[in-house]
Structure 1
């Protein structure tokens, strides 16, 4: 009888202890601050993160959060960045946020279109994140023209130019990974393919037309004919539109594909996947000329006289 009584008492004690631990774990601190941002640095250990949160009065039982983080994967899974705390949160919630990168801060959603230049991208970035000056972004991103993959991104308000550029470059690598073997087998360097893709992006829309234009431009390079791509003048003059004059055709710029043969020294825009694919897989053709008519269609010719006939027929 006494053993049963002691057994009941022991069970009650265990239940009380479990309830107490549960209350401690799931109850946020009484003095939980409001509207505080804690910046977790990249590479911070679990112990360092716990100490930061304890110092900011986000938690009152550091050892419990340390255990929760350890059970969840430890320091390697903690996502760096700014975490906003504006309402009391318990240990499991905080641990989950740290592991999932739930910063609690509304992200800036930015969509970059295929064929935009670094200059155009910089303007979009500044519109969404005014703390990043256009000139600052251009200076940091200019060396990576062509490799900033057009896509929709979410950036924290605290993001700087370097973070955005790195994210876009990593996306380029990830999205084009399936083309690695084709690039190696193409006989062209990556920089040449990206440069060609940047021209194609500005000249054509559908994948079929992109591949045809690619075939024509590679044909011109093969026979030593100038590429004569009008889109380069928008890049040369920093304009969104490009309707070159006769004077423009003679401007002494290495990007002037009327004046200098071969590809320009680098990409003139940031092409999408289809344009890069078209640069790698051009349509085999005898055509050397193309134009977009007033009917919105692309018209091709093998000779200059045929091209002039197309101009007369489709542009007037």
Structure 2
């Protein structure tokens, strides 16, 4: 073989070997990149671990100073505003994380209006459960509604106790269509439509309480107390249930507590003997108080032109003037059988009953309170 060709082959092999042999500078850079990558991965891992630990501390309520707070949620509060308050009170640190947890677990949908006692020992799940309808921390209040209270008095009392505002209760009473047969013929639009149906008793409410549910609680009790037997008894009287409640409401507002049946007899005697001395006028002072805003009636009030003015218009007023208790309702169903057409309060703070106007006048002339 010629010397030139052997030289060319040797030269080619050397070039290919040289091409495969890495250069020292390239090897150093590759090793540096590898080290930086490993360091970066480790650093990111450490950072993520730290962040996860910090987040876990908040989610699980770890390492927090002891604190107990009371939070009130109203119907107007958004979930965002509630979360802001939790952060402001120091119950959570990361709003975004709490919102994410609430959305993922469905706990957001369980948060409802009320007053709750929460603390920093409660983790995210406990906080959400603690603001739900079944929360053991939800604040409640007992409210005693006396016999004879009007709707306005009941609503003012419920507002005072933190159940709901007067405006919320009036709106619910006027426009919510409650599913009770005794309300079906009463049109919506005026909150007074429920006058007579909010049964006096002692009730337990959340604070605050959904106004529709609060009113419904009273109506449910009325429905349970006015049984089928009582409704059958109402039907036998020839009066409607609302008319019986109207009579009972006047009895409740007039009675001294011992004479409901006698007052009932006066009302029925006047209703059923329109040709008598009272010519069908009930002349019940409590109806004047209903239209004058609850003040003590005056002679001037007798001239107020209102269908509730029983000095001006004959027969029953158009609806109850208060919310009677069961004793007054039973008195309206079972009045004493008398010939009384009049009664008046004596100096002894008891009502005295009379058959005639002359007997009434003679009694009034004998009493210091009328002189």
TM-score, with length taken from structure 2: 0.59
In structure 2, the residue matched to 1:125 is 158
CA distance in structure 1 between the aligned counterparts of 2:208 and 2:157, rounded to whole angstroms: 16
Alignment pair present for 1:204 and 2:255: yes
CA distance in structure 1 between the aligned counterparts of 2:291 and 2:70, rounded to whole angstroms: 47
In structure 2, the residue matched to 1:112 is 145
In structure 1, the residue matched to 2:89 is none
Deviation at 1:188, TM superposition (A): 1.5
Deviation at 1:36, TM superposition (A): 10
CA distance in structure 2 between the aligned counterparts of 1:121 and 1:198, rounded to whole angstroms: 14
CA distance in structure 2 between the aligned counterparts of 1:218 and 1:107, rounded to whole angstroms: 43
Alignment pair present for 1:255 and 2:288: no
In terms of mean alpha carbon deviation, does 146-155 or 213-222 score higher?
146-155
CA distance in structure 1 between the aligned counterparts of 2:158 and 2:115, rounded to whole angstroms: 22
Deviation at 1:104, TM superposition (A): 1.7
From 148, 168, 172, the counterpart of 2:198: 148
CA distance in structure 1 between the aligned counterparts of 2:318 and 2:205, rounded to whole angstroms: 31
- Over 3 Å counting, the alpha-carbon distance change for 1:281 and 1:130 in structure 2 is closer
In structure 1, the residue matched to 2:211 is 161
Alignment pair present for 1:170 and 2:220: yes
In structure 1, the residue matched to 2:237 is 186
Deviations 1:235-259 (A, max 9, x none): 10112x32222x2212210000011
In structure 1, the residue matched to 2:6 is none
- Over 3 Å counting, the alpha-carbon distance change for 1:226 and 1:83 in structure 2 is closer
RMSD: 4.0
CA distance in structure 1 between the aligned counterparts of 2:293 and 2:155, rounded to whole angstroms: 13
Deviation at 1:260, TM superposition (A): 0.5
CA distance in structure 2 between the aligned counterparts of 1:31 and 1:176, rounded to whole angstroms: 51
From 137, 154, 167, the counterpart of 1:135: 167
Deviation at 1:288, TM superposition (A): 0.7
SS at match of 1:231: helix
Answer whether contact 2:251 2:260 (CA < 8 A) is retained.
yes
Alignment pair present for 1:284 and 2:337: yes
CA distance in structure 2 between the aligned counterparts of 1:220 and 1:304, rounded to whole angstroms: 13
SS at match of 1:171: helix
SS at match of 2:234: helix
Would you say how many aligned residue pairs link Structure 1 and Structure 2?
A: 258
TM-score, with length taken from structure 1: 0.68
Alignment pair present for 1:242 and 2:292: no
CA distance in structure 1 between the aligned counterparts of 2:142 and 2:311, rounded to whole angstroms: 39
In structure 2, the residue matched to 1:303 is 356
Deviations 1:82-108 (A, max 9, x none): 695647689xx9xxx9xx945421212
Answer whether contact 2:61 2:120 (CA < 8 A) is retained.
no
SS at match of 1:109: strand
What are structure 1's unaligned runs of at least 5 residues? 1-28, 40-53, 63-77
- Over 3 Å counting, the alpha-carbon distance change for 1:56 and 1:170 in structure 2 is farther
Answer whether contact 1:82 1:103 (CA < 8 A) is retained.
no
Deviations 1:69-89 (A, max 9, x none): xxxxxxxxx9x9769564768
In structure 1, the residue matched to 2:328 is 275
Answer whether contact 2:292 2:301 (CA < 8 A) is retained.
no
Deviations 1:1-60 (A, max 9, x none): xxxxxxxxxxxxxxxxxxxxxxxxxxxx945899799x9xxxxxxxxxxxxxx99969xx
SS at match of 1:228: coil
